[in-house]
Structure 1
Amino acid sequence: MSSKAEKDQESVSYKVLLDENHALKSEVESLRASLTEAEELRRAISEGDLDALVIPGPEGKMVFTLDSADYAYRVLVETMNEGTATLACDGTILYCNRHFAELLGIPLPAIVGTSIYQFIAPESAIIFKVLLEHETGKEEINLQAEGGRSLPVYLSISLLETGEFPKSWCLVVTDLTEQKKNEEILANIETARKKEIHHRIKNNLQVISSLLDLQAEKFNDRGYVKDSEILEAFKVSQDRVLSMALIHEELHEGGEIDTLNFSPYLERLIKNLFHTYTLGDSSISLNLDLERNVFFDMDTAVPLGLIVNELVSNSLKYAFPGRNDGKIQIKLFSQEAGDKLNNEEELPGKGSRYTLIVSDNGIGIPQDIDFENSETLGLQLVSILVDQLEGEIELKRNKGTKFIIKFDSAANLL
């Protein structure tokens, strides 16, 4: 009895397993058919052999044509916040959306069929051409809108491969007008802040100069220190402070805030020194040969100004003892301009190598004095400042004194 029941149970279990096996086979066959259908559908879409899809939905089957897909894409393109356009290989605009036309301020029908190049600002023509040559890329450029208005945009360009045209491009244009306005506002705020800093530094340095002057006056009132080295030290220190204050004054009053137009500054500095050190019937002449529109940053301008201050004041104080006449000459030029000094053409030199020459026709520095290891503070300071500029200094002693200083700088020549 027990054996018969066990056999019946085994027979039922086998039948259940057989049914499950048939069900699994049917499901696998169904999945295989679905995959085959999906692959055929993918191939048909990619090869352009399909006109429509029938998609089941909650309200029954729906027909979705490729034309309707194109319509949905066009709605997306037309309502996006960026301007878009399609170009033929010669730059002809084949299509643009409404926003692109609004950016240019030109009716859309008047744009399609025209050349994109008439809407590229002249200063951006080369950049745009390079983007097309690379076939893809992103860059900030300027478009030329209605009335010649310059429109800053961020341009994204990519190559399109279509059957209709051998080569075409898709442009996506983002208006940067508001961003540029905000950047300009921030730049103006930063400029005002830096100018105020220069103004305060100048005022503080002038206060220090005034304190030195007052202290010198106190010593001057004491008979035993009149015309002594103490008074001279105060005067020299005052000149050094004023030479730095003058830089900050120029930066505060000028159009630039980070770089100094160095030649006008030198002219003011040297004239101040002449006013301070030439007295009575002295007729020491000044010859300035300074290259124009040379801009140095603070790291170059401050030490270079101090160098000129030391060398010119030394010439005025010591080069012409017992004489009422003499000549001091200062030259500043870039290396490229220096190579053309004998040419009558204008010197628009560009480069980062500069030469400063300070010379006089006075008694000169004795041969036995090594100016680079001098005991005088002024010449020591000159050597230190030239090292700070990572420059070179040379002294020529024939027919007076001539200091030649060469240095590198990331200055701009405009």
Structure 2
Amino acid sequence: MLTVVKTVVKFGKVFIVLFILFTSGFTFSTGNSRISAGIDFIKEGYPFVFCIGKFNFSKDGKNLNSSFSSDFEASLTEEEKAWLEKHRVIKIAPDPNFAPFEFLDEYGHYLGIGADYIKIIEKMLGVRFEILVYTEWSDVISDFKSGKIDMLNTVFSNEERTSYMLFPKPYLKIPTVAVVRKGEIDQIDEKKLGRYRITMVRDYGLTGHFLNKYPGYNIIFAKNISEALEFLVSKKADVFINDIATTDWYMKENGITSLEIVSYIKPDSYLGFGVRKDYRILKDILEKAQDKIPKGTLNEILNRWIKVNVSLKGVFSKILLLAFILLSVVVIIIVFLLLINARLNSMVKQKTLLLYKELEKSRTLESELRKRGEFLDNILDELPVPMLLVSGDGKIIKMNYHFVQCSGFNRDDFENIEDFFKVILKRKGEREKFIEVWKKKQEDVHSEYNFYSYYLSCKNTGARICDIKVKSIQDVYAILFIDLTDILKLQEELKKSLEEKNLLIKEIHHRVKNNFNIVVSLLNLQKNRVENEEVKKAIMVAQNRIFSMALIHEMLYQTNQFTQVSILNYVDKLIKYLQGLYTNEFQRVDFKVEIEKEIYLPMDVAIPLGMVINEILMNSLKHAFPGKRKGVVRINILRTKDKKLEILIGDDGVGIPPEENFFEKKSLGATLIQSLIYQIKGDFKYYNKNGLTFEIIIPLDKIDVKS
């Protein structure tokens, strides 16, 4: 209780200090601000600014003069110096609507963090950056591709841009966020973004990254950030994905208060320079210049565009309230503990009195224990398991009735346990091992020993196979004999029966496969006698469908797995079979197969799924690549984290007309695909974009799947 009191005193001192600070009006404040999230602009090797509390992006940033490293020019090669001498003017076009990183004010002045940073680069290189003025970012990208622009600033690198642009190392990193209307969406999972209407700025690097990563998403393009925010406010879109800095700037610029940031989205936006593909020397020069800029220079630029306002009075008010609550809780706990302590003292007195009474009863219990000992002795005799009780010095105390009946021995037949096992254990090695372990038992009196499948020689029952279990109970050892003789005989019989069953199942699968092949051969003979090409094609399709089922039975008896089929091996064999049927098509079509290993499906799932895969592949080979068109057929099969099997099969062929629905054509193939997928309790859909792709989802928790 003394410790508790000291703790209360400490809390009281803290409470007084906080009260004095608060009442004295201690505050810290700089500039005007509004509530927003902190931004970590750069980590791990790049300059960074991290704002806590309240901050705002300033629009009145001025050009920042920085000291330049005198050894920058010395770091340049003669070739780089000659290039700079030849290219005294470098054309750069900023994004007019990308504040606070770069933008054009009402007078056409180039401003922003990137503008201040590039002025330092301009001074170091000794060249002039000619600012080309555009009103739309899409026009900037178009003219850059045509070679009218030499360099861009604060751009995002993605896979598509690397084909026409070089990227020195970035100098800014900004978190990417998802913006929604307030109160509509609490949290956004990146994997489920596809269910929303997403708006992004056309031709932004981040937009290109998402288009490449999620080609099927519904993205509404805006010409700039303000228009994207308007799409969101007017409910033309559900989510706006952009970096947090420019989003915050234009929400305030446009007076938008009905939107909020709900989630961070990967990847973060790394911003830096973008250079023409043929200006590799300029890329190297820019990287050297960035290395020579002092580490604090970028922070100075950022500080001119980011203002911090922290008022500690509100913080201290909250701390004071929290301290008061904590102190009140501690006082309540102390009072509660005092009441508990008084209650415990009363209980201890009562228990002491009860223990004294129990001590008086102990003598009576001793006599009862003796009677119970005799009772337990009778129980041991009734146990159906043979058992011995042996003292610590090796003398046999008791053989229960079942042991005497099974072995034919009595306790008086042996002086000690070692003599007993010399007689009853038939094998010399087992006998020596048991005696050796028994001699070491005194090192661990509480140990338990197990001896498995020992051969015993009994008078009454002959040779028996038993597990022997030795358990120490204080200074007495209980030895139990578990007879396995009949069980092992039964196991051997079951093993033989199982082998016969497996052989029979293997023969059945083999015969089913042969019967399928006979049907295929009969159809082949019929096909050779038919002159109508349409009938021949129909017979070949029927042959292919029968083979897809026969292949399952062939794999079942060849791999000795009579209930499970490897989907990887099945698809591989099916493709090889199709290659023999569609020789001309395979010369023009590549197969890209990505199937997770060790996926086995039961026969009742493998057969319908195999037929579905076969139907989709035949559809691609027959219809996706007319004439001499070349292409790729992709097969991806994997398990998802939510215990589902995801199957993607598609091609980059001609697809189907947009106005058509694949499953409304009522062809036999479409009907088979629908009915077979429903049969295995799966879901499916198809995408008619850049070819025809089928997505099939099978819940693994509803079927017996081995992995």
TM-score tier, shorter chain, comes to 0.5 to 0.7
The reply on whether 1:318 has 2:318 as its aligned counterpart is: no
Secondary structure of the 1:390 match is: coil
For the structure 1 residues 76 and 401, does the alpha-carbon distance in structure 2 shift closer, same or farther, using more than 3 Å as the test?
same
Secondary structure of the 2:689 match is: coil
For the structure 1 residues 46 and 353, does the alpha-carbon distance in structure 2 shift closer, same or farther, using more than 3 Å as the test?
same
Provide the residue aligned with 1:380 in structure 2.
671
Are the aligned partners of 1:334 and 1:354 in contact in 2 as well (CA < 8 Å)?
yes
Provide the residue aligned with 1:412 in structure 2.
706
CA distance in 2, matches of 1:288, 1:383: 23
CA distance in 2, matches of 1:353, 1:241: 28
CA distance in 2, matches of 1:205, 1:386: 23
Provide the residue aligned with 1:390 in structure 2.
681
For the structure 1 residues 367 and 324, does the alpha-carbon distance in structure 2 shift closer, same or farther, using more than 3 Å as the test?
closer
CA distance in 2, matches of 1:177, 1:279: 61
For the structure 1 residues 192 and 281, does the alpha-carbon distance in structure 2 shift closer, same or farther, using more than 3 Å as the test?
closer
Secondary structure of the 1:80 match is: helix
Are the aligned partners of 1:78 and 1:99 in contact in 2 as well (CA < 8 Å)?
no
CA distance in 1, matches of 2:578, 2:420: 67
CA distance in 1, matches of 2:560, 2:688: 40
Gaps of 5+ in 1: 1-41, 51-69, 82-92, 121-142, 147-152, 221-225, 337-350
For the structure 1 residues 73 and 270, does the alpha-carbon distance in structure 2 shift closer, same or farther, using more than 3 Å as the test?
same
For the structure 1 residues 155 and 103, does the alpha-carbon distance in structure 2 shift closer, same or farther, using more than 3 Å as the test?
farther
CA distance in 1, matches of 2:480, 2:420: 9
For the structure 1 residues 244 and 74, does the alpha-carbon distance in structure 2 shift closer, same or farther, using more than 3 Å as the test?
same
Matches within 5 A, 1:325-404: 325-336=630-641, 352-404=643-695
Are the aligned partners of 1:281 and 1:324 in contact in 2 as well (CA < 8 Å)?
no
Once the 2 structures are TM-superposed, how far is the Cα of residue 144 of structure 1 from its aligned partner? 8.3
Provide the residue aligned with 1:250 in structure 2.
555
Matches within 5 A, 1:216-231: 216-220=527-531, 226-228=532-534, 230-231=535-536
- Counting matched residue pairs gives 291
Q: Deviations over 1:88-120 (max 9, x none)?
A: xxxxx9999776886993434224355877757
Secondary structure of the 1:256 match is: coil
The reply on whether 1:237 has 2:563 as its aligned counterpart is: no
For the structure 1 residues 47 and 238, does the alpha-carbon distance in structure 2 shift closer, same or farther, using more than 3 Å as the test?
closer
Provide the residue aligned with 2:601 in structure 1.
296
Secondary structure of the 1:282 match is: helix
Q: Select which of 468, 489, 504 maps to 1:178.
A: 489
> Percent identity between the aligned chains?
24
Secondary structure of the 1:268 match is: helix
Provide the residue aligned with 1:109 in structure 2.
435
Gaps of 5+ in 2: 1-366, 376-395, 408-416, 456-464
Are the aligned partners of 1:103 and 1:145 in contact in 2 as well (CA < 8 Å)?
no
Q: Deviations over 1:319-342 (max 9, x none)?
A: 001234210010111113xxxxxx
- What amino acid is aligned across from residue 46 of structure 1 in structure 2? K
Once the 2 structures are TM-superposed, how far is the Cα of residue 177 of structure 1 from its aligned partner? 3.6
- What amino acid is aligned across from residue 173 of structure 1 in structure 2? I
Secondary structure of the 2:648 match is: strand
Provide the residue aligned with 2:129 in structure 1.
none
Q: How large is the RMSD of aligned CA atoms in angstroms?
A: 3.9
Once the 2 structures are TM-superposed, how far is the Cα of residue 180 of structure 1 from its aligned partner? 2.9
Q: Deviations over 1:125-179 (max 9, x none)?
A: xxxxxxxxxxxxxxxxxx4889xxxxxx99799999x7756xx876442324433
Provide the residue aligned with 2:501 in structure 1.
190
Once the 2 structures are TM-superposed, how far is the Cα of residue 254 of structure 1 from its aligned partner? 0.8
For the structure 1 residues 281 and 378, does the alpha-carbon distance in structure 2 shift closer, same or farther, using more than 3 Å as the test?
closer
For the structure 1 residues 155 and 110, does the alpha-carbon distance in structure 2 shift closer, same or farther, using more than 3 Å as the test?
closer
Secondary structure of the 2:633 match is: strand
Are the aligned partners of 1:334 and 1:352 in contact in 2 as well (CA < 8 Å)?
yes
Secondary structure of the 2:600 match is: strand
CA distance in 2, matches of 1:103, 1:235: 71
For the structure 1 residues 101 and 210, does the alpha-carbon distance in structure 2 shift closer, same or farther, using more than 3 Å as the test?
same
Q: TM-score, normalised by structure 2?
A: 0.37
Once the 2 structures are TM-superposed, how far is the Cα of residue 294 of structure 1 from its aligned partner? 1.2
Are the aligned partners of 2:590 and 2:633 in contact in 1 as well (CA < 8 Å)?
yes
Secondary structure of the 2:584 match is: coil
| Mean Cα deviation higher: 402-411 or 365-374 | 365-374
Once the 2 structures are TM-superposed, how far is the Cα of residue 289 of structure 1 from its aligned partner? 0.5
CA distance in 2, matches of 1:100, 1:273: 66
- What amino acid is aligned across from residue 619 of structure 2 in structure 1? N
| Mean Cα deviation higher: 266-275 or 180-189 | 180-189
CA distance in 2, matches of 1:154, 1:291: 46
CA distance in 2, matches of 1:72, 1:376: 83
Once the 2 structures are TM-superposed, how far is the Cα of residue 201 of structure 1 from its aligned partner? 0.1
CA distance in 1, matches of 2:539, 2:399: 80
CA distance in 1, matches of 2:513, 2:689: 39
Provide the residue aligned with 1:37 in structure 2.
none
Matches within 5 A, 1:112-131: 112=438, 113-114=440-441, 119=450
The reply on whether 1:286 has 2:591 as its aligned counterpart is: yes
- What amino acid is aligned across from residue 227 of structure 1 in structure 2? E
CA distance in 2, matches of 1:277, 1:46: 90
For the structure 1 residues 178 and 103, does the alpha-carbon distance in structure 2 shift closer, same or farther, using more than 3 Å as the test?
farther
CA distance in 2, matches of 1:394, 1:96: 75
- What amino acid is aligned across from residue 213 of structure 1 in structure 2? N
Are the aligned partners of 1:155 and 1:172 in contact in 2 as well (CA < 8 Å)?
yes
- What amino acid is aligned across from residue 174 of structure 1 in structure 2? D
The reply on whether 1:209 has 2:520 as its aligned counterpart is: yes
Are the aligned partners of 2:568 and 2:599 in contact in 1 as well (CA < 8 Å)?
yes
- What amino acid is aligned across from residue 218 of structure 1 in structure 2? R
CA distance in 1, matches of 2:448, 2:622: 66
